[in-house]
Amino acid sequence: MSKTLQAVSPGLHQHLRLYKGQLQGGSTQDAATGEDSRSLPLASQLPPGRLIELPAATPTNCHMTQAVASLRYAQHCGKTCAWVQIEGGSLYPPDLADNGIDLAALVVVHVPRRARHAGLAKAAEILLRSGGFGMVIVDLWGIPSDRPSPLQTAWQGRLFGMAREHNSWLILLSSPKVAPHKHAHPRSHREHGGTPHFSPSSLGPLISLRVAGERRRLAPGHFAITPIIEKDKSGCLSHRPLAEEYRRGPWGLY
């Protein structure tokens, strides 16, 4: 079952209220600096036509929650969306429905596990090349990559070209690599009752924007998620304040 956190106050509604106020002449500039001082949800600020990475630095990271929020925003913008994952992946339809996703309008592609990165990339490339998808999310969870390889850079380059040509959102959910703890036995952690140490695995130099999420517990079952910009080659988000968003955990899990 996916551990996607459910929306408490959907960022889209906040964004629309702010936009409506701007149209009505309300000021959104800081009096001292003259700059836009609004805090906007991450989903409304992701740039299309670029490679965007949402990393899972730990097993409890909220990258899935950020991805679903982005998916919801794209659907509300009228975009056709697709989700590509390995066969038996972590996507859980009831969680998506609770988060406002139109399941009937979502294309989900399951790639055989043996195909690994190449199969996921090929499926995403076919979707993007058609020109019919405004957002494609590729879930790389469960396929760790210790370092960028020439093959990995090649498929990222093709996807980047397709996303830019059709001005589509392309989001990659990266999987952490498992690094043995310095005091751990060389054999399996599970055999010896230990806990594996997870470290982030960057997808390489072609990634334009990498955004992590810091989850903070507010009360039983309720959390705040703060977007953290780890990499921004174009500078599109570095100067914009991003809103802290509030979520609740799925019933019975938190």
C-alpha 12/C-alpha 143 separation (Å) is 31
Per-residue model confidence (pLDDT) at position 38? 58
Phi, psi of 63 (to 5 degrees): -65, -30
pLDDT in tens, 69-107: 999 999 999 999 999 999 988 888 988 998 899 999 999
Dihedral Cα 95, 199, 206, 232, nearest 10 deg: 80
Is 124 domain-assigned? yes
Is 14 domain-assigned? no
Measured CA to CA in angstroms, residue 83 lies from 48, 53, 124, 158, 206 at distances of 16, 14, 9, 18, 21
Band (3; pLDDT cuts 50, 70, 90): low
Is 76 domain-assigned? yes
Q: Among 13-27, 100-114, 162-176, 197-211, which stretch is predicted with the lowest mean pLDDT?
A: 13-27
Which residue range is the domain that position 103 belongs to? 41-180+199-248
Is 220 domain-assigned? yes
Does residue 177 have a pLDDT over 70? Answer: no
Band (117; pLDDT cuts 50, 70, 90): confident
Does residue 32 have a pLDDT over 50? Answer: no
Does residue 237 have a pLDDT over 70? Answer: yes
* The two three-digit tokens of residue 244, written as one number: 């802290």
Per-residue model confidence (pLDDT) at position 235? 83
Is 52 domain-assigned? yes
Is 186 domain-assigned? no
**Domain CATH for 134:** 3.40.50.300
Is 8 domain-assigned? no
Measured CA to CA in angstroms, residue 185 lies from 41, 112, 152, 177, 200 at distances of 43, 32, 31, 18, 22
Per-residue model confidence (pLDDT) at position 141? 79
* The two three-digit tokens of residue 12, written as one number: 């889209």
The mean per-residue pLDDT over the stretch 35-45 comes to: 71
Share of the chain above pLDDT 90, in %: 34
Is 253 domain-assigned? no
Does residue 57 have a pLDDT over 80? Answer: no
Our count of domains for the chain comes to: 1
pLDDT in tens, 125-163: 999 999 999 999 999 877 765 555 566 788 889 999 999
Is 234 strand, coil or helix?
A: coil
Per-residue model confidence (pLDDT) at position 41? 86
